[in-house]
Amino acid sequence: MKFTSLGRTGLQVSRLCLGTMNFGVDTTKEDAFRIMDRALELGINFFDTADVYGWKKGEGITERIIGEWFALGGGRRERVVIATKLYGDMGNGPLENWPNTNRVTALHLRRACDASLARLQTDYIDLYQMHHIFRVAPWDEVWEAYEVLRYQGKILYAGSSNFAAWHIVQANEAAKRRNFLGLVSEQSKFSLLQRDIELEVGPACEAYGVGVIPWSPLAGGVLGGVSEGAGGVRRRSDWALKVAEKHADGLAKWEALCKELGEQPADVALGWTLTRSFVTAPIIGPRTMDQLEGSLRALEIEFTPEVLAAIDEIFPGFKTAPEHYAW
């Protein structure tokens, strides 16, 4: 396994991040335990989750599964850099349909962090991420709440997800004024089929030392091979079928190129994200052990300038703004 620093920090994380969104949904708790154990054996030390995963409002099912796995001991918690997120509505029980059970406010940050710690059965979160931008709360409120959590030893680093470039700039300039570290990572949707962040988010992250953690690097599985009818649940979904139909010509050329390279399309698509200078670690979301183990091939593929040029011809990307649209 290869490791790198998380953004401008000294924290070392694996170049693949284990996404856990399927745990408790498409993957049973028992299989999730086996996948996490195997991930550690393979050297993957970076795990990502969120309080809303499991998709039953307020229950935090996926975090609970990870917490039960941590509780098994054997150095599991100590070896993992755990990242989780807040933003979605977690109000249930006596708080059902009440305000202040979501978003990014001082109150919800405090409640959500304590709840995640309890579900994860740990006393600190390595990377605590805002799942979405909340445009109402001022940054001084957000960072003051983060500072308190950090001083209490409940979190180590702050991250974002689905932020625009100017949100990242605003956040880190506000943090700088407070002598606070601010954002060290950003989770963005990024794949060969969605390269928008090359315009501004990627360059902004590089400028501020914010590591990008791409989610959906296989475009919901579509880049893993569709022309021959292969694929899992996501690749057979209505959304995936529409994407496959829209990009049918490009996907056919893509799979032909991968065949010429003697590689699986999923491995090439995942490996390609690692060629981007702003990327720290793409998120892999295996439902099975085979999917987990197969993803490691992406770390070994070498991309020559000719191959990268051929990929760009199939799936054109973006120049850095404003050059892309100014002239």
Residue 240 has a pLDDT of: 83
Residue 146 has a pLDDT of: 99
260-277: pLDDT as tens digits? 999 999 999 999 999 999
Residue 326 has a pLDDT of: 94
Residue 236 has a pLDDT of: 55
Low-confidence ranges of the chain (pLDDT < 50): 229-235
Residue 230 has a pLDDT of: 46
Sign of CA dihedral 226, 228, 231, 236: positive
Residue 228 has a pLDDT of: 52
Residue 227 has a pLDDT of: 59
> Catalytic residue positions?
53
Residue 232 has a pLDDT of: 45
Domain span at 94: 3-326
Residue 234 has a pLDDT of: 47
Residue 239 has a pLDDT of: 80
How much is the pTM?
Answer: 0.95
CATH number of 187's domain:
3.20.20.100
The structural domain count of the chain equals 1
Task: Report whether 47 contacts 38 (CB < 8 A).
Answer: no
Task: Report whether 155 contacts 185 (CB < 8 A).
Answer: no
Q: Classify 215 as helix, strand or coil.
A: strand
